[in-house]
Amino acid sequence: MQRITRDEHATPHGLDALKDKIALILKHFPPSVASVYAIPRIGSGDVVEWWTELGGQPTRFHDLNEDQQAALLERYRQRQETLGLLADELVTRGQPEQAASLRTLIGAPDLNNLYSINGDPVVVRWGLQAQPAVATPAPAPVAAPVVVRRPRRLWPWWLLALLLLLGLLLWALWHWRLPPMNLLPVQSTPVCRASTPQGSELPPEFVVILDTSGSMNLNINATKDDEDWYFKSRPQPEDNDPRTVKIFAPQTRLDVAKTALTGIINNLHPDIDTRLMTFAGCFRQPDHGVFSAAQRPQLIAGIQGLNANEGTPLASSLKKAARQVNGRDRDAVIVMFVDGDDGCNENVCKVAQRIAVEQPRLRVNVVNIGDSSLSNCIAENTGGSIYSSRNASDLANALKHATQAVSECE
Write the CATH number for 205: 3.40.50.410
Q: What is the mean pLDDT of residues 49-76?
A: 88
pLDDT band with cut points at 50, 70 and 90 for residue 191? very low
Phi, psi of 251 (to 5 degrees): -90, 140
Full residue range of the structural domain in which residue 241 is found: 194-407
Kindly report the average pLDDT of the chain as a whole number: 76
pLDDT at residue 177, as a whole number: 40
* Domain presence at residue 14: yes
Write down the pLDDT at residue 178: 34
pLDDT class of 319 with cuts at 50, 70, 90: very high
**Residue 136 pLDDT > 80:** no
Give the domain-ending residue among 130, 153, 181.
130
Helices 253-266 and 392-402: crossing angle in degrees, nearest 10, is: 40
Distance (Å, rounded) from C-alpha 3 to C-alpha 273?
Answer: 44
Considering the domain boundaries, does residue 266 fall inside one? Answer: yes
Residues 18 and 108 in one domain: yes
Cross-sheet strand order for the sheet of 386-388: 287-291, 274-278, 205-210, 332-338, 362-368, 386-388
Overall domain count for the chain: 2
Asked whether residue 156 is domain-assigned, the answer is no
Summarize pLDDT for 118-133 with one digit per residue, the tens.
Answer: 888 999 888 765 444 4
Indicate the Cα dihedral angle 294, 300, 305, 308, nearest 10°.
130
pLDDT (mean) for 57-70: 90
Does some domain include residue 179?
no
The per-residue pLDDT for 238 is: 57
Mean pLDDT for the stretch of residues 309-319? 89
Which of 108, 130, 152 delimits the end of a domain? 130
Query: Do 121 and 252 fall within a single domain?
Result: no
Q: Is residue 264 part of a domain?
A: yes
**Rounded average pLDDT over 61-65:** 91
Classify residue 127 by burial, with Cβ atoms within 10 Å: 0-12, 13-18, 19+: middle
The model's confidence at residue 188, banded by pLDDT at 50, 70 and 90, is very low
Domain co-membership, 265 together with 363 = yes
Looking at the fold, whether 218 and 102 belong to one and the same domain comes out as: no
Sequence-distant (6+) residues with CB within 8 A of 404 are: 181, 182, 183
pLDDT (mean) for 352-357? 92
Q: Are residues 381 and 248 in the same domain?
A: yes
Q: Is residue 163 in some structural domain?
A: no
99 and 239 part of one domain? no
Are 387 and 368 contacting, i.e. CB atoms less than 8 angstroms apart? yes
pLDDT for position 316: 92
120 and 199 belong to one structural domain: no
Residue 378 inside a domain? The answer is yes
Amino acid 144: pLDDT: 44
pLDDT at 214: 85
**135 Cβ partners below 8 Å, 6+ apart?**
none
Do 212 and 298 fall into the same domain? yes
Q: Which of 37-46, 140-149, 367-376 has the lowest mean pLDDT?
A: 140-149
Q: Given this model, what pLDDT does residue 209 score?
A: 93
Answer for the pair 121, 52: CB distance below 8 angstroms, yes or no: no
147 found inside a domain: no
Same domain, 212 and 353: yes
What predicted TM-score, i.e. pTM, was given to this entire model?
Answer: 0.60
* 380 and 234 within one domain: yes
Q: Which of 110, 130, 150 is the last residue of a domain?
A: 130
Asked whether residue 26 falls in the same domain as residue 114, the answer is yes
Residue 125 and residue 201 share a domain: no
